[in-house]
Amino acid sequence: MLTGCLVPIVTPMTPDGVLDLAALRKLIDWYIVNDVAGIVIVGTTGESPTIDFEEHHTLIKATVDHVAGRAHVMAGTGSNSTAEAIDLAAYAKKVGADSCLSVVPYYNKPSQEGLYRHFRTVAEEVDLPLVLYNVPGRTVADLADDTVLRLSQVPGIVGLKDATGDIGRATELIKALNEAGKKDFALYSGDDITSLAFLLLGGHGVISVTSCVAPKQIVAMCRAAARGDIANARAANDTLIPLHRKLFVEGNPVPVKWAMAQMGLISAGIRLPLAPLSEPFHEPLRQALRTAGCLA
């Protein structure tokens, strides 16, 4: 089971919106030096809604090739079309990704049975470990815990990224999975402000937007939590709390791309309909970066 910090890497772009693969490779090297467990490419933070199909392929392959086995590569392959999700997962497998992250189908509002059949079909068609991604604040559709339990029994479906931020619900799901004999079903927090609580309840890792700018600190928090060192886990998290909040003052990845540009990691390129971070948020986010030790 993959545990610890997985970074949902942004898609670097030039100021006119062209993919910047050289910057992507530099980011990958920086995250690996900071000892992240994995790289998640073309997820929400990677601007997947504005990336076309050919670019999606390009980003997955470029990441797999450059990581070259130094870390786990989880490819974002979700879609609100089951056929497209299958195609993306098949490509990810073909070029050597280690797993895929498949978001709950958005906009068309499938039933729980539709969600179950969607993910089961993808897993049956493509022999690549699949991590479910539930983020109802973006997709509208919500993957119910009972459906997660059903899907946990499907060969090839190995985990869940839980971005609900609902700790009570996470507690119930962890208990239900354990009772169902699925302690090996990986659970990753996708909500930074509640991620430490999620880990201490029995979660296995985080797919953390904050780790895009503070990988060393998130790795330290995850490791302390895993060994039961609550004091150091809390100490690491305490410096990150302002970042957890300020990185979501506007829709992700607008704030995190702005922050990374301030740190000199990427240029400020972003694609419409996303717009640059509003000026009133600049100084509060700079201060949060300073508090976390990301800016001098």
- Known catalytic residue at 133: yes
Nearest CA to 158 out of 195, 128, 125, 129 is that of 129
Among 61, 93, 161, 216, the one annotated catalytic:
161
Residue whose structure tokens are 């604040």: 137
Neighbouring residues of 66: CB distance < 8 A, sequence distance ≥ 6 = 24, 25, 28, 29
Tell me 139's DSSP state.
Answer: H
Nearest CA to 196 out of 160, 170, 158, 172 is that of 170
Residue whose structure tokens are 């996708």: 190
Token pair in block for residue 129: 């470990």
Tell me 19's DSSP state.
Answer: B
Nearest CA to 65 out of 92, 30, 33 is that of 92
Where are the extended beta strands (E) located within the chain?
A: 4-8, 38-41, 72-76, 99-103, 130-134, 157-162, 186-189, 205-207
Tell me 225's DSSP state.
Answer: H
CA 283 to chain centre: 26
Where are the extended beta strands (E) located within 114-239?
A: 130-134, 157-162, 186-189, 205-207
Q: Under a CB-based contact definition with an 8 Å cutoff, are residues 175 and 203 in contact?
A: no
Token pair in block for residue 258: 């702005």
Among 31, 91, 116, 133, the one annotated catalytic:
133
- Known catalytic residue at 175: no
CA 257 to chain centre: 15
Q: Which residues are catalytic?
A: 133, 161
